[in-house]
C-alpha cells in the first residue's frame, strides 16, 4: 500500500470517529442540562463553555457573553471553524477520496452520502430546533460507516490502518471528554457527601461516551467520580474505554508489524509499552492526580500517532 494512501486512510478513520464524539457531546450536554439537578448544570452558558472546551476552543473569559446559536453553528456547521463537524466530515471524505481505489464502493458511497447530508443541512434549522435531529443523524451515520469498514473491507493492512486511526481517535476524544467533564464537576458539585465525587456531571460524562447503561449494569450504583473514571479508563470490556482502545490499537499494529523481535524504535513497541502500563494501573493511582494523568495519556497518544507517521506514512 502507498504510504500516502495509508496516511489518508488513517486520518479518514480519525475524522469519522471525531465527528461522532463531538456530535454526541453536543447533544448529551445540551439535553441533560435541561433538567439537571442543580442551577449551574442547568445554566446554558456553563454548558456551552463546556462544549467549546471539549472541541479545543476554551473560553477563558467568563464575563464574555456567549450566544447559543453561535456556539452551535460554530461546532456543527461552520465551514470556517476547523473543529466543526462539517469540517471533520469534509476531511473524512477528502481522505477517502484520495484512497478511493482501496476502499469499498459501499463505504465510499456512505461517506459521500454523509458528506452531502452535512453540507446540505440548514444552519438555521440546526441552531433553532434541529440539534437533536442533526446529532442523531451524525451518530447513526458514523455507526453505519463503522459497520461498512468492518463488513466491506478486506481485513488486511488497509483495515488495520483505518482501525488504528479510529481507536487512537476514540481514546483521544474520550480523554478530552473526561478532561472537560472533570473541570465541570469541579465547578458544579453535588449536594451531598463528597460533592465533587457525586457531581451530576459524571452521569453526563458517561452518556457522552454512550457508556451510561453499560456502567449501570456493571456497577448497579449511581456513578461517582471513581467508578466513572475506572469504567471509562481502565475497564477493558467497555468498548469505549481507553483500555479497550489501546488494546485495539495494539491488536491492529500487530497485524501491520508481524516481526517477532521488537525494535525499540517501532510503533508496535511503543503501543505495547503504553498498553501494558495501563493494563496494570489502579484507579487510585489516577484519582489522586487526574490532571496529570489526562496530560500524560494525551501525550502518549500523540507520540503513537507521530511514530506511525514516521514509520509508515513518511513519503
Residues 197 and 194: their CA atoms lie apart, in Å, by 5
Kindly list the distances between the CA atom of residue 278 and the CA atoms of 236, 240, 286, 287, 313, in Å, as whole numbers in the listed order.
10, 15, 10, 14, 27
Residues 178 and 287: their CA atoms lie apart, in Å, by 12
Is residue 116 near other proteins by the rule CB under 8 A? yes
Is residue 226 near other proteins by the rule CB under 8 A? no
- Taking residues 231 to 270 in sequence order and writing x for each that binds other proteins by CB under 8 A, - otherwise, the string is -------------------------x--------------
Closest to other proteins by CB, 53 vs 108, is 108
Closest to other proteins by CB, 31 vs 117, is 117
Is residue 122 near other proteins by the rule CB under 8 A? no
Residues 154 and 163: their CA atoms lie apart, in Å, by 12
Least distance to other proteins from the beta carbon of 4, Å? 5
8-state DSSP, 50: H
Q: Which of 37, 82, 113, 125 binds other proteins (CB under 8 A)?
A: 113
Residues 110 and 107: their CA atoms lie apart, in Å, by 5
Q: Which of 68, 94, 296, 309 binds other proteins (CB under 8 A)?
A: 94
Considering only residues 6 through 35, tell me which ones interact with other proteins, judged by CB under 8 A. Answer: 6
Long-range CB contacts for residues 221-224, cutoff 8 Å, separation at least 24: 222/198, 224/194, 224/197, 224/198
**CA neighbor of 55 nearest in space, from 105, 79, 19, 90:** 19
Least distance to other proteins from the beta carbon of 256, Å? 8
Is residue 1 near other proteins by the rule CB under 8 A? yes
Q: Return the CA Rg of the chain.
A: 20
Q: Please report the sign of the dihedral spanned by the C-alpha atoms of residue 118, residue 124, residue 125, residue 128.
A: positive
Query: How many chain residues are in contact with other proteins, going by CB under 8 A?
Result: 24
Is residue 101 near other proteins by the rule CB under 8 A? yes
Is residue 296 near other proteins by the rule CB under 8 A? no
- Taking residues 129 to 158 in sequence order and writing x for each that binds other proteins by CB under 8 A, - otherwise, the string is ----------------------------x-
Is residue 216 near other proteins by the rule CB under 8 A? no
Q: Please report the sign of the dihedral spanned by the C-alpha atoms of residue 44, residue 45, residue 49, residue 52.
A: positive
Q: Which of 82, 105, 263, 299 binds other proteins (CB under 8 A)?
A: 105
Q: Are 188 and 200 in contact (CB under 8 A)?
A: yes
Residues 209 and 278: their CA atoms lie apart, in Å, by 19
Residue numbers at the binding site for other proteins (CB under 8 A): 1-6, 94, 97-98, 100-102, 105, 108-109, 112-113, 116, 157, 161, 256, 312-313, 315
Amino acid at each position: 500500500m502507498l504510504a500516502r494512501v495509508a496516511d489518508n486512510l488513517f486520518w479518514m478513520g480519525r475524522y469519522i470517529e471525531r465527528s461522532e464524539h463531538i456530535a454526541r457531546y453536543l447533544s448529551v450536554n445540551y439535553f441533560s442540562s435541561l433538567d439537571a439537578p442543580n442551577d449551574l448544570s442547568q445554566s446554558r452558558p456553563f454548558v456551552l463553555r463546556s462544549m467549546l472546551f471539549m472541541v479545543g476552543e476554551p473560553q477563558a473569559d467568563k464575563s464574555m457573553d456567549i450566544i447559543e446559536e453561535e456556539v452551535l453553528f460554530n461546532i456543527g456547521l461552520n465551514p470556517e471553524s476547523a473543529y466543526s463537524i462539517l469540517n471533520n466530515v469534509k476531511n473524512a471524505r477528502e481522505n477517502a477520496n484520495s484512497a478511493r481505489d482501496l476502499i469499498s464502493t459501499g463505504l465510499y458511497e456512505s461517506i459521500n452520502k454523509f458528506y452531502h447530508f452535512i453540507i446540505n443541512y440548514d444552519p438555521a434549522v440546526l441552531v433553532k430546533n434541529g440539534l437533536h435531529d442533526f446529532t442523531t443523524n451524525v451518530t447513526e451515520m458514523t455507526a453505519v460507516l463503522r459497520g461498512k469498514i468492518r463488513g466491506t473491507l478486506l481485513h488486511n493492512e488497509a483495515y488495520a490502518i483505518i482501525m488504528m486511526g479510529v481507536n487512537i481517535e476514540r481514546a483521544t476524544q474520550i480523554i478530552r471528554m473526561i478532561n472537560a467533564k472533570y473541570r465541570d464537576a469541579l465547578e458544579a458539585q453535588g449536594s451531598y457527601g463528597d460533592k465533587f465525587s457525586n457531581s451530576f456531571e459524571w452521569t453526563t460524562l458517561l452518556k457522552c461516551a454512550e457508556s451510561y447503561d453499560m456502567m449501570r449494569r456493571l456497577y448497579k450504583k449511581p456513578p461517582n467520580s471513581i467508578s466513572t473514571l475506572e469504567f471509562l479508563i481502565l475497564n477493558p470490556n467497555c468498548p469505549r474505554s481507553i483500555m479497550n482502545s489501546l488494546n485495539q490499537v495494539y491488536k491492529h499494529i500487530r497485524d501491520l508489524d508481524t516481526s517477532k523481535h521488537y525494535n525499540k524504535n517501532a510503533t508496535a513497541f511503543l503501543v505495547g509499552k503504553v498498553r501494558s502500563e495501563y493494563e496494570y494501573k489502579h484507579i487510585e493511582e489516577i484519582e489522586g492526580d487526574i490532571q496529570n494523568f489526562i496530560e500524560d495519556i494525551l501525550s502518549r497518544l500523540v507520540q503513537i500517532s507521530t511514530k506511525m507517521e514516521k514509520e509508515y506514512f513518511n513519503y
